[in-house]
Amino acid sequence: MSDIRLLIVDDEPLIRRGIRTMLATMPGVTVLSECGTGADAIQAIGSLPANLVLLDVQLPDCTGLEVVCHVGPERMPMVIFVTAYDEYAVRAFELNAVDYLLKPFDGDRLRSSIERARRRLAADDPTALARRLHALIEPHEHSRRERIVVRQSDHYDFVVVDTIDRIESASNFVQLYCANQTYLVSDTMNNMESKLDPKRFLRVHRQHIVNVERVVAIHPIVNGSYELELRNGVRISSGRQYKGSIQALLRA
């Protein structure tokens, strides 16, 4: 029998307490910790040896899917979603072979879900779990991110993408410039570009992405390059290979 090392993630203390009470009668289940926010969940998943997460779909600071996106399907433990979604959303979870608990649920339903997870932990290989999670979050990723999670020394910040003026490559990191604040993110420019809505954020150089709402003027320079002037006075030169993108912005 596979031992379950569990993390409970729900913003309602009463629900977390009720889950603990129901789990107390189940052998082979250890609750490692409980979290009330997405940021705490991301930190706990990264630091604790959990092999199963009871993950609320709607948290105060983000969604359960955003937690999975940030942690990454390859590093995410087995997930049981806790949700108040209607039957159509539940069906989507089922199609991707991820279990769910529909609120309100009782001890029998929780026990059934835990045992189902236990069987999968014994039978599944990690790549199969990652494939299911990829399939689950793919539509969410294609809808583009509205927030970016930034790890700080002792916490996580959720940066609303509309507050970003520009993004700049910084070796193995990217720098987010938001008004008078900057954030350093462990990511690549290509990956960051893929997360953002191309109608709102434009790659103008291999080292620069700009929020088009912050562009107040475009100045032609030499050899098909341009200089973009932002609302805060910053000027960014475009790369020649991005000439078509700048001209499309001018036509729009």
Give the domain CATH number at 169.
2.40.50.1020
Q: Are residues 65 and 113 in the same domain?
A: yes
Which run of H or of E encompasses 82? strand 78-83
pLDDT at 140: 55
pLDDT at 167: 96
Q: What is the pLDDT of residues 133-177, one digit of tens each?
A: 776 666 555 556 778 888 887 788 889 899 999 999 998 899 999
* Per-10-residue mean pLDDT, the chain, length 252: 89 94 93 92 91 89 81 84 71 63 89 90 72 67 71 83 94 91 88 82 93 94 89 92 84 73
pLDDT at 36: 92
Q: 246 near 237, Cβ under 8 Å?
A: no
Q: Are residues 134 and 170 in the same domain?
A: no
Domain boundary among 142, 165, 192: 142
Q: Are residues 86 and 209 in the same domain?
A: no
SS3 at position 168:
strand
217's CB contacts (< 8 A; 6+ apart) are 228, 229
Q: 66 near 57, Cβ under 8 Å?
A: no
What does the alpha-carbon distance between residue 45 and residue 42 come to, in Å, rounded to a whole number?
5
Number of structural domains the chain divides into: 2
Q: What is the pTM of this model?
A: 0.60
Q: For position 62, which CATH number holds?
A: 3.40.50.2300
- Tokens found for residue 249: 């912005």
pLDDT at 61: 78
Q: Are residues 57 and 137 in the same domain?
A: yes
pLDDT at 38: 87
Q: Which domain holds residue 136?
A: 4-142
Q: Which one, of 229, 66, 35, 233, lies nearest residue 160 by Cα? A: 66
Domain boundary among 142, 167, 199: 142
Domain boundary among 116, 142, 168: 142
